[in-house]
Amino acid sequence: MNFIGLNDLREQFLAFFESKQHLRATSASLVPPADDASLLLINSGMAPLKKYFTGEVMPPNSRMASCQKCVRTPDIESVGIKDRYGTYFEMLGNFSFGDYFKREAIVWAWEFMTQVLKIDPKLLYCSVFEDDDEAFEIWTKEIGVPVSNMVRMGREDNFWEHGKGPCGPCSEIYVDRGIQYGCASADCQVGCDCDRYVEVWNLVFTQFNSDGEGNYTELETKNIDTGMGLERMACVMQGVGNLFEVDTMQAIMQHVSRISGITYKENAKHDISLRIITDHVRSTTMMIGDGVLPSNEGRGYVLRRLLRRAARHGRLLGVEDAFLSEIAKTVIQENAKAYPNLAEKQEYILRVIAQEEESFGRTIDAGLGLLEKMLENCKGELPGEDAFKLSDTFGFPIDLTKEIAAEHNIIIDEAGYAELVKQQRERSRAGRKEAGGWDSEGAGQKPEAQYDPIQHTAAHLLQAALREVLGNHVEQAGQALTATSLRFDFTHFSALTSKELKQVEARVNEVITQALPVQIEEMPIDQARAAGAIALFGEKYGDIVRVVSAGNSKELCSGNHAQNTRDLGLFIITKESSISSGVRRIEATAREPYAAFIETRNALSTRITELEAQNKAQVKELEKALAAAHEKLSGFAVQELMQIAVEIAGVKFICGELGGDLRKACDKAKQSDENVVALFAQKSERGIQFAAACSPGAVKAGAHAGNLVRAVAQAAGGSGGGKPDSAMAGGKDPAKLAGALAIAEETLKAMILN
């Protein structure tokens, strides 16, 4: 067998299928898309392509090939103990969406194995589904595989099916690695559990549709889905016994050996630790590169568990200082060519790993010491309360406690532990209901606390802004609301820079000034997830949930909310801090509409009066500031009025009393819409000032600013007029302002409708 490095093997596969007109697809993130709630992490090559196979989304090409990053964690406890298990792997695959079918898939697979990899055809064995005569004949009659190297297998082994839907037979390729890998049994053959005949490639022929009751119909559009494990194929091409001996894995393990002073294959217990550290650092480096951060729930918990398990096994090898981030440098070096995001994010990845290991290191000695005492004093079973104490106080994942206990042949009272965890979650959930109410009405619970709806809506917008600026790893970790402020806790590994804080604050205020309605809908939970709604991780929701949408924010929530984002007025971040490892806190406030501007205006007016006789220069500066405040306020007022504009035959009419420069307010109104008429008034010591403006579309419809402003001025004892698009007038009696404005709408209707 010709030695081929893992990175070269990946490239050869993708280049080969590119030569067969396949689109080379880059690996999808290990984090599934928001609308796929079926997976915690991507665990197969076809998982990111599901919507292409179902027809929900049109693929960019009818032929595609990829090398997909994957993580599988059900067997974490076995990783290291057995050398055939790993948590991270890469899956090579070629795919056809209604294009080619069995013949091409088989021919190209054989060509790649025998001509590109140059494997001796005599060492290759092929299996087919027992009833798939078509595939059997392609292999034997067209390819020329001897019947002695063919195996027919039953439904359990060679028919791909998951309930109702598309399904079909499979054909697998095996490599005979020689009797040295065999079990020495006379019955050793393809399908044996030993390591002699290794399955390296599975070709799935999706040609039927199952009704789930044993009935199958031919699909009009047939697909091909193949999968070849990159590490497994590398084992074959490099003539090594398992994935830990593959070139890229050995580079990582040798780095561990240099730091620990431990050589592989000299001590069985040490070998377990070397394999665990090698696998887990590789997995966590790839996960962090795709945006996963350590936490106590979901994929973040998987990451934390792997890092802490690796850190503990470093201690078992005698490594006292933090070292995992150093190992991660080799992981990045070995994989950066295929996955350049690793090099781009190297500093970030190393910081996350270092912080998590250092955090664990601060408690690991005390925790391990306490666990050892607990194990010495228990009789075959560790009480649930002891396991809970380790988890709650020392941050020991229950899985790590179970693993260490198993090394002492001791089991854990898992039922007792689970009950204590349940009680803690219930206490936490109750605390959240004083803090804003996160339980879903679909789960049968109505909002109880009447907290401030303004601050609650602001908290939703804040979370959306944090995810935009910092990344989708941000998750809500708690909140508290009052009538004047909010406190929002979230997952993030470092303090926000002043630039990031400004970006977050600006993004929230941008949504507020857009004056968007806050929409509340009830829908099936699957539909909500498909729409991208964020749920509080760990909460249980019913089949029907309540979805609150405001601008770029969409969350499952049963709480009270503002009706429109404009109601929030102004959003200000007052403080950002850390509350625990990986969890940050933002304190902020959202105010009633225009409150901040009105306060500023009133303060400036008072100050002007006090200083007028003292310093004319200061007065001018303050007058400028006051004018700016007036202008900003009038701009907000115009936006507010546009939301409640009266529509007359397609023309929007806004009318009201404003402060500041009425001409500028009219200009803002005309710029806001092609078909708008604005009428603004302002009281003064001399009476009333009126200003009117009509945009081009409104003038074309019959509106006339001069005639409109003349009519209202006359109703207030004054006069004036002007051009169709812009006019000013004055009224003498401020007491008649309300009556004057009241006739404006009827006056405009007469112009447009007559």
Domain locations along the chain: 6-240, 247-376, 378-429, 435-593, 638-753
Which tens digit of pLDDT belongs to each residue from 197-230? Answer: 999 999 999 999 998 888 999 998 999 999 999 9
High-pLDDT (> 90) share of the chain, %: 55
Query: Does residue 444 register a pLDDT over 60?
Result: no
Could you write out the three-class secondary structure of 288-315?
A: HHCCCCCCCCHHHHHHHHHHHHHHHHHH
* Higher pLDDT among residues 51 and 432, named by residue: 51
What does the alpha-carbon distance between residue 560 and residue 448 come to, in Å, rounded to a whole number?
Answer: 10
Choosing among 3.40.50.360, 3.30.2000.10, 1.10.10.10, 3.10.310.40, the CATH entry for 638-753 is 3.10.310.40
Query: Does residue 555 register a pLDDT over 70?
Result: yes
Most confident of 64-78, 97-111, 546-560: 97-111
Average pLDDT over residues 459-473: 91
Q: For residue 603, name the pLDDT band (cuts at 50, 70, 90).
A: low
What does the alpha-carbon distance between residue 48 and residue 39 come to, in Å, rounded to a whole number?
Answer: 10
Q: For residue 541, name the pLDDT band (cuts at 50, 70, 90).
A: low
Query: Does residue 178 register a pLDDT over 60?
Result: yes
Query: Does residue 476 register a pLDDT over 60?
Result: yes
Average pLDDT over residues 309-336: 95
What does the alpha-carbon distance between residue 204 and residue 161 come to, in Å, rounded to a whole number?
Answer: 10
367, 387, 428 from 362: Cα distances, Å: 9, 19, 25
> Which pLDDT does position 719 carry in this prediction?
87
Dihedral angle sign, alpha carbons of residues 236, 237, 238, 243: negative
What does the alpha-carbon distance between residue 544 and residue 526 come to, in Å, rounded to a whole number?
Answer: 9
> Which pLDDT does position 538 carry in this prediction?
46
What does the alpha-carbon distance between residue 418 and residue 278 come to, in Å, rounded to a whole number?
Answer: 31
Average pLDDT over residues 347-368: 84
Could you identify the residue written with the tokens 């002073």?
261
Q: For residue 600, name the pLDDT band (cuts at 50, 70, 90).
A: low
* Higher pLDDT among residues 62 and 638, named by residue: 62
Weakest-pLDDT range from 22-36, 271-285, 363-377, 606-620: 606-620
Which residues fall within 8 angstroms of residue 16, CB to CB, at 6 or more apart?
108, 111, 112, 116
Most confident of 4-18, 52-66, 162-176, 489-503: 4-18
Helix (H) or strand (E) holding 501: helix 498-513
Query: Does residue 356 register a pLDDT over 60?
Result: yes
Q: For residue 447, name the pLDDT band (cuts at 50, 70, 90).
A: very low
> Which pLDDT does position 630 carry in this prediction?
66
What does the alpha-carbon distance between residue 249 and residue 251 come to, in Å, rounded to a whole number?
Answer: 5
Query: Does residue 432 register a pLDDT over 50?
Result: no
CATH number of 6-240: 3.30.930.10
Query: Does residue 117 register a pLDDT over 50?
Result: yes
> Which pLDDT does position 645 carry in this prediction?
85
> Which pLDDT does position 617 carry in this prediction?
67
The neighbour count for residue 453, using CB atoms within 10 Å, is 18
High-pLDDT (> 70) share of the chain, %: 90
> Which pLDDT does position 539 carry in this prediction?
58
Q: Are 583 and 473 in contact (CB under 8 A)?
A: no
Average pLDDT over residues 109-132: 97
* Higher pLDDT among residues 632 and 146, named by residue: 146
Q: Rounded to the nearest 10 degrees, how much is the dihedral formed by the CA atoms of 272, 275, 278, 281?
A: -60
Question: Which fold, 435-593?
Answer: Threonyl-tRNA Synthetase; Chain A, domain 2 (3.30.980)
Is the pTM higher than 0.95? The answer reads no
> Which pLDDT does position 296 carry in this prediction?
76
